[in-house]
Amino acid sequence: MIITMSVDASNKEIERVIEKVKGFGYNTKLFQGEKKTVIHVWGVTDKERLMKRIEPLPGVEKLIPILHPFKLASREFHPEDTVVSIDGRSIGEKEITVIAGPCAVESEENLLEIAAIIKEAGAKFLRGGVFKPRTSPYSFQGLGEKGLEILARARERTGLLIVTEVLSEIDVPLVSQYVDIFQIGTRNMQNFPLLKTVGRFKNPVLLKRGMSATMEEWLMSAEYILSEGNPNVILCERGIRTFEKYTRNTLDISAVPVINHFSHLPLFIDPSHAAGDWRYVSALAKAGIAAGADGLLLEVHTDPTVALSDGKQSLKPKNFNQLMKEIKKIAEATGRTV
């Protein structure tokens, strides 16, 4: 159950409502947004009684029974869009955020070269995996801590903020020291201990949709992070498994309006892992922005033919630059900027 308080409700009135609800033996959590104060109530067994007693109290606007299993991720609970603020940059506002870089950090020289290119084109965040979740244990697994050091140096040199995947609970404290945003990959979307762990850290979390997950399961995974106290979750649609074989995954563009309807969390599109082929990446990226996505996660490499992972789907600098120009036009057409 959610209790929304009227805009002019006083602190005293809010406290009184919480006290009354607790008197019924239920747990509460208070969320004070810019415009609205909302009280989340858990474990309600007698809705009617609660409504009858609480609704008439001064300052109460209305009581809303929650229809979905996700609560903290729900727009019912948090009507305003969440804006993730990080080091002077905001994600989820009018400005579209582009995170770009290689699939994996391969060397310092190569990463710095890519970082300079994406920065020049307007990206604000640099991506690069150092713990790679490869399908085969014989494929390149990433540089580990050495890769984190390289990412940190790229941040120092360019001012770009860093996004990298954290694969395991044990690595969370280490990765947290080096990077700005944790990425949780598709294969770990339901690794609940990992979700709970990142939920206890301050770094925002880019949570990719599981390749076979429903939107509700995805939002429940976000709920795991939010319920541990980390409010900064960014969702990322990266394509789901379907019968189609001409693309690596099928970008579920409908996730954009549906998630925006049900949730206040910012939503990104990763057209690289959806398409699996660089030739389709730009079209999907533009579709995502046109549909209302808050940002893009893109793989870019200076020489995709020698990339240690995902070269086939990586954009060359020239194509990335072109895409950035086109996105600007789509952003303007939809009342936003890049």
Is 163 near Mn ion (CB under 5 A)?
A: no
240: β partners:
250
- State the nearest-atom distance from the C-beta of 306 to ligand PEP, in Å: 17
Q: How far is the CB of 300 from Mn ion (least distance, A)?
A: 11
> What is the smallest separation between the CB atom of 273 and ligand PEP, expressed in angstroms?
4
CA 272 to chain centre: 16
**Residue 225 exposure: Cα atoms within 13 Å on the Cβ side:** 30
Nearer to ligand PEP, 1 or 296 (CB): 296
- Report the distance separating Cα 67 and Cα 80, nearest Å: 18
Residue 256 binds: one of ligand PEP, Mn ion, none (C-beta under 5 to 8 A by kind)? none
User: Can you tell me whether residue 268 is helix, strand or coil?
Assistant: strand
Judged by CB under 5 A, how many residues of this single chain contact Mn ion? 2
Q: Confirm if 315 and 281 have CB atoms less than 8 A apart.
A: yes
Do 126 and 311 contact (CB within 8 A), yes or no?
Answer: no
Buried b / exposed e across 56-66, counting CB within 10 Å, b at 16+? eeebbeebeee
Shorter beta-carbon distance to ligand PEP: residue 54 or 151: 151
> Hey, is 321 helix, strand or coil?
helix
Piece of the chain touching Mn ion by CB under 5 A; list 51-59, 120-128, 180-188, 305-313: 305-313
Residue 173, classed as helix, strand or coil, is helix
Residue type present at position 50? L
Task: Tell the smallest beta-carbon distance from residue 133 to ligand PEP (Å).
Answer: 6
| CA dist 230 → 4, 182, 253, 266 (Å) | 22, 12, 27, 14
Which of ligand PEP, Mn ion, none lies near 133, with the C-beta cut-off 5 to 8 A by kind? ligand PEP
Q: Write down the least CB distance from residue 310 to ligand PEP, Å.
A: 6
Residue 73 vs 163, nearer CB to ligand PEP: 163
User: In whole angstroms, how close is the CB of 129 to Mn ion at the nearest point?
Assistant: 7
**Residue nearest ligand PEP, CB atom distance:** 185
Q: Are strands 60-64 and 2-5 parallel, antiparallel or unpaired?
A: antiparallel
Which residues would be at the binding site for ligand PEP (CB under 6 A)?
A: 103, 129, 133, 185-186, 208, 238, 270, 273
From candidates 171, 259, 310, 320, binder to Mn ion by CB under 5 A = 310
Residues 6+ apart with CB under 8 A from 36: 4, 5, 7, 79, 80
Q: Which does 144 bind (CB under 5 to 8 A by kind): Mn ion, ligand PEP, none?
A: none
Question: Of ligand PEP, Mn ion, none, which one sits near residue 234, judging by CB under 5 to 8 A according to partner kind?
Answer: none
Residues 48-107 within binding reach of Mn ion (CB under 5 A): 103
CB of 209 to ligand PEP, least distance (A): 8
Ramachandran angles phi, psi of 52, nearest 5°: -60, -40
What residues make contact with Mn ion under the rule CB under 5 A? 103, 310
